[in-house]
């Protein structure tokens, strides 16, 4: 059991990176459970983790994703493969069996070491989101928390005090003049307040765009400032997901988003979805002066002319339109697809946003004045 402290500490770090509230007290209970139970299978290890690390049923899915990511996908919540892990002949030690011989269900004789979160991020950072599993996307949550989603500021109608403001605050000046026999010695000044522009995100959740949409939604949840974002998904219909992003962890938010969007991994009707957004939300004020981010590869089963008209309508009210298309990562890419070609003249920037290493370019474009 010499490696038990390192095992528990590393696993607790991975849980916190995924959004689970695992503190030192829960980690200590998890360690005591391993010592008492001496889990022989990964299923029994999962039972120990659920009993000591989870405080809400909605967190179980997140815990399963972390277990799958840490132990290479060998943890099966249903337990079909749990007993197979013990078939390697012989009973593993309590801590060492979990860390070293957990690979019995995935291949005899293969050692599985607990990866550190930082090394996992470095390994996954350059990979395309389309190649990552749901568990691997969860492991990127900690790195995404270090990012900042910011939009350029805009002036509001409200004012604030400012030493060198561009307008005189008459009331404050007269109040101060009472102390100088009515003589306004000092002029109080005010200036217009500035606040970040609203960010409106429209995510294509068709089959080819599913992992990219999940990564971007997780980014908006994790990054500071993303709370002001309005998030919609579309495939064959438009769904508003802003409320779903207020859940306690990225994985729970994604699970809730998938439940709210019945057309997830369906077909794509970009033009019709944008028409619904413009009519129901955009031109009524949500997109006015906002930065609009559209995540899609441009494949549209509808009329490309409709898509062009709706992006043009959106351009009249939005401050900026940014299109994130993972296909642009390929050298020599040209917007020959009907939908993308029709929308391109009205976009202020087109980026790939296909991996964690490409996200800084996206954030730079969103915050650019």
Range of the domain at 183: 153-195
Contacts of residue 6, defined as CB under 8 A and 6 or more positions apart, other chains included, come to 114
In a domain? residue 123: no
State the total domains in the chain: 3
Q: Are 129 and 212 in contact (CB under 8 A)?
A: yes
In a domain? residue 133: no
Q: Are 152 and 367 in contact (CB under 8 A)?
A: yes
Give the integer Cα–Cα distance in Å for 25 and 53: 9
Q: Give the three-class secondary structure for 72.
A: coil
Q: Are residues 206 and 186 in the same domain?
A: no
pTM of the model: 0.64
Q: Are residues 258 and 171 in the same domain?
A: no
Per-residue pLDDT of the chain (369 residues; tens, 9 = 90+): 456 777 777 888 888 888 888 887 788 788 888 877 777 777 888 888 888 888 888 888 888 888 887 765 444 444 443 443 333 444 333 334 444 333 334 433 333 443 444 455 667 778 888 888 777 777 787 778 888 888 898 888 888 888 888 888 888 888 888 888 888 888 888 888 888 899 999 999 887 888 888 888 888 877 655 456 888 988 888 888 888 777 656 667 777 777 787 777 777 888 999 999 999 998 788 999 999 999 998 888 888 899 999 999 999 999 999 999 998 887 777 776 677 888 899 999 999 988 888 999 999 999 887
Domain boundary among 195, 218, 251: 195
> Residue 273 belongs to a domain with what CATH number?
3.40.50.410
Label the pairing between strands 167-168 and 349-351: unpaired
Give the integer Cα–Cα distance in Å for 301 and 351: 22
């Amino acid at each position: 059991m010499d490696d038990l402290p390192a095992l528990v500490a590393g696993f607790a770090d991975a849980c916190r990176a995924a959004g689970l509230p695992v503190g030192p007290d829960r980690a200590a209970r998890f360690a005591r459970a391993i010592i008492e139970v001496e889990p022989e299978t990964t299923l029994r290890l999962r039972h120990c983790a659920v009993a000591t690390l989870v405080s809400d049923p909605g967190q179980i899915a997140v815990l399963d994703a972390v277990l799958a990511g840490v132990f290479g996908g060998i943890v099966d919540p249903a337990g079909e493969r749990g007993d197979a892990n013990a078939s390697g002949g012989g009973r593993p030690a309590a801590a060492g069996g979990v860390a070293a011989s957990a690979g019995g269900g995935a291949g005899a004789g293969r050692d599985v070491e607990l990866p550190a979160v930082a090394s996992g991020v470095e390994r996954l950072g350059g990979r395309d989101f389309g190649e990552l599993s749901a568990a691997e996307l969860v492991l990127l949550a900690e790195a995404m928390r270090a990012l900042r989603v910011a939009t350029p500021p805009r002036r509001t109608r409200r004012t604030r005090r400012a030493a060198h403001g561009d307008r005189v605050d008459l009331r404050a000046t007269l109040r101060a003049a009472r102390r100088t026999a009515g003589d306004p010695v000092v002029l109080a000044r005010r200036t217009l307040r500035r606040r970040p522009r609203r960010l409106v995100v429209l995510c294509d959740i068709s089959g080819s765009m599913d992992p990219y949409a999940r990564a971007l939604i997780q980014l908006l949840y994790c990054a500071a400032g993303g709370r002001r974002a309005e998030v919609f998904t579309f495939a064959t219909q438009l769904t508003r997901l802003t409320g779903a992003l207020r859940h306690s962890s990225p994985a729970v938010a994604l699970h809730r988003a998938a439940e709210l969007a019945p057309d997830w991994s369906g077909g794509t009707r970009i033009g019709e979805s944008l028409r619904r957004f413009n009519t129901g939300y955009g031109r009524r004020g949500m997109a006015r002066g906002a930065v609009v981010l559209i995540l899609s590869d441009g494949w549209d089963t509808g009329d490309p002319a409709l898509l062009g008209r709706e992006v043009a309508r959106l351009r009249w009210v939005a401050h900026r339109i940014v299109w994130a298309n993972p296909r642009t990562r390929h050298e020599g890419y040209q917007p020959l697809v009907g939908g993308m070609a029709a929308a391109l003249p009205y976009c202020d920037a087109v980026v790939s946003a296909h991996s964690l290493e490409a996200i800084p370019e996206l954030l730079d474009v969103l915050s650019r004045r």
